[in-house]
Homo-oligomer: A and B are copies of this chain.
Amino acid sequence: MEKEVKRVKMIVAYDGTNYKGWQVQPNGITIEEVLNRHLSSLLGEEITVTGASRTDSGVHSLGNVAIFDTTTRMPADKISFALNQRLPEDIVVQDSCEVPADWHPRYQNSRKTYEYRILNRTFRMPTRRLDTYFYHHSLDVEKMSRAAVYLEGEHDFKSFCAVNAQVKTTVRTIYACSVTKADDIITIRVTGNGFLYNMVRIIAGTLIQVGGGQIEPEQIEQILAARDREAAGPTAPAHGLTMMGIEYMEEKDIDTQGVV
């Protein structure tokens, strides 16, 4: 008798400090690898997860999404609890549930949200050194906010894409891009239908230059129009970036988008 296969979806949170990013690679331990190893040992079969967002080395996550197929009889919603007992303390599964066999975290209409955090003060703050990028010069948050608005909407983000990236199209939609400050921490929050390689970090690097006065908010339009990586600011360091979560839209939501 053949065993029944089910597809399980997990929400995965991690502190990326000690990992070489999400995707399995030869020179260092990755999130994907740790999940594969512990799921395989927990379920007694070879498990390979597929992630929605293949975050870079040092990038954190509160809500990355991953799927895998399994023949286990363990209920899907119990897997998160059992797996967390085995995982190191810097990776914690927040939820697990069964999804249809053809559900895929990347080939699906979705809204991803990232936050880039800048610690903007005179001295470094040890307790926030792992999840914020320390920037010593004073930044004008009001200017950064005005610049962020120019990024909203459907644009060709070629200027905000790492030069070596291989993609069919560099057109993406940003639904919202905001810049807020609480105490010494400036948060750039971006929600979009997809992101190019290094896109959020280049947005952050560019908005930092706006905050420092090297770029005027209005210039974002020209930077987008240039379709040239050289036109935008530098790529801000990975450790300031956190993948916040992914919202998946049902077909019906897509149909009614803009109507409701």
Contact = CB atoms under 8 A, between A and B. Distances in A.
Interface in A66-112: 80, 84, 89-95
Q: How large is the interface on A (under 10, 10 to 19, 20 to 34, 35 or more residues)?
A: 20 to 34
Contacts of A95: 123
A62 interface: yes
Contacts of A80: 123
B124 A15 contact: no
Interface in A192-212: none
Contacts of A129: 15, 89-90
B13 A93 contact: no
Nearest to A81: B123
Copies of this chain in its oligomeric complex: 2
A89 B125 CA distance: 9
A129 B90 CA distance: 8
A120 interface: no
A126 interface: yes
Nearest to A125: B13
Nearest to A88: B126
A72 to B, nearest CB: 21
30 contacts: A13-B123, A13-B125, A13-B126, A13-B127, A14-B126, A14-B127, A15-B126, A15-B127, A15-B129, A60-B126, A60-B127, A62-B125, A62-B127, A84-B123, A84-B124, A89-B126, A89-B129, A90-B126, A90-B129, A91-B126, A92-B124, A92-B125, A92-B126, A93-B123, A94-B122, A94-B123, A95-B123, A127-B130, A127-B131, A127-B242
